[in-house]
Amino acid sequence: MKVPFLDLSRPHRELRSEILAAFAETYDAGRFCLGADVTAFEAEFAAASGATSAVGVANGTAALHAVARALNLGPGDDVIVPAFTFIASAWTASYVGAKPVFCDVDPVTFNATAETIAAAITPQTKAIVVVHLFGQAADMDPILALGRERDLPVIEDCAQAHLATYHGRPVGTMGVAGTFSFYPTKNLGGVGEGGAVISQDEGLLDQVRLLRVHGSNVRYQHDAIGYNYRMEGLQAAALRVKLKHLERYTAGRRKIAARYRDGITLADTILPQPAPWGDSVYHQFTLLHPRREALREHLAAHDIGTDLIYPRALHQQPCYADVGPAEGALPVAEKTARNCLSLPIFPELTDAEIDHVITTINAF
């Protein structure tokens, strides 16, 4: 039996007629860049995310960049970023000329903590980026307390954490702003690029709205140096269809995670555990194993797709060689990058496929 790491053709086949019908409407009305579909999606996504409003943008990276600009981060500023995450979290700092200061992560949640963040604060620190990695909310209360104490805004990168909660509070609503990605592989994925910003601060959202259309609210008057970060109408139309299924998709991911946790008994394996403040939405199910390359080859030999997410911590990336810190300084992030292995966890996996993954791992 062949088990792909990810198979997007399954949900897309299932929703084909519904999404194409939505496309036809948007196409016939010519609502291509922003417009009524985007406005409707923004309202529906805000409601689903526990926010009062959302601003749709071109992608999740644009969302982070626009928030960094709205917070006036720039050259001379340090921005704390977890060392174990997708590179775009660090672009939040780099795109505006600020410096990402990488902090270590927790060995259980793989997320930054108040302690690891506090250890990275410098006199130049102006903001904290928290990532709810793999769908697991970070331990926010101590981080928010630290942010208040040091007067540092906390940006929540929720690109992997749609519908995740922390003690019942939705991710993205606790810090100054939350950013989302709708890249096709994310828990809520479009059929192309997309992103959004949520915030309780309408002034900040107005800034994002300004920046996404060339810094202009009045035709050919440009109040800020902005971008073309508009969300596409066709993407919003597809996302409105997919959003209706997101709770079901999330429940599906959680069920698979529980089955992996119950079924995998391989020695020396560390499996993701639900945090006391709320279970993950399992964008990834990432285990740690000291011989992950051999385990990966064993799974590949049995036709099971896996991925290394992520094989390098950010301070180990060539583009940040001059930023540091040196190898060894962030031991948990480095060890996680060495030992992590992500298993298939998309909602359409069949019971037989899940069993094949479990049996094959246990036979290693």
Binding marks (x or -) toward ligand PLP, 179..218, rule CB under 6 A? --x-x-----------x-----------------------
Q: Give yes or no for a contact between 227 and 208, defined as CB atoms under 8 angstroms apart.
A: no
Task: State the Cα–Cα distance between residues 59 and 159, nearest whole angstrom.
Answer: 10
Binding marks (x or -) toward ligand PLP, 260..299, rule CB under 6 A? ----------------------------------------
Task: State the Cα–Cα distance between residues 42 and 22, nearest whole angstrom.
Answer: 16
How, if at all, do strands 154-157 and 285-288 pair? unpaired
235 touches ligand PLP by CB under 6 A: no
| Catalytic residue of the set 2, 99, 126, 186 | 186
Q: Give yes or no for a contact between 129 and 81, defined as CB atoms under 8 angstroms apart.
A: yes
**Does the bond joining 325 to the residue before it have cis omega, within 30 degrees of 0?**
yes
Q: Which of residues 61-80 bind ligand PLP (CB under 6 A)?
A: 61
Q: Which is nearer to ligand PLP, 88 or 361 (CB)?
A: 88
Residue 59 CB, shortest distance to ligand PLP, in Å, is 4
Q: Which is nearer to ligand PLP, 163 or 358 (CB)?
A: 163
Contact residue for ligand PLP among 35, 60, 344, 347 (CB under 6 A)? 60
Residue 242 a catalytic site member: no
Task: State the Cα–Cα distance between residues 172 and 209, nearest whole angstrom.
Answer: 17
157 touches ligand PLP by CB under 6 A: yes
Task: Name the segment binding ligand PLP (CB under 6 A); options: 137-145, 153-161, 245-253, 286-294.
Answer: 153-161
Catalytic residue IDs: 186
Q: Which residues bind ligand PLP (CB under 6 A)?
A: 59-61, 85-86, 88-89, 131, 157, 159-160, 181, 183, 195
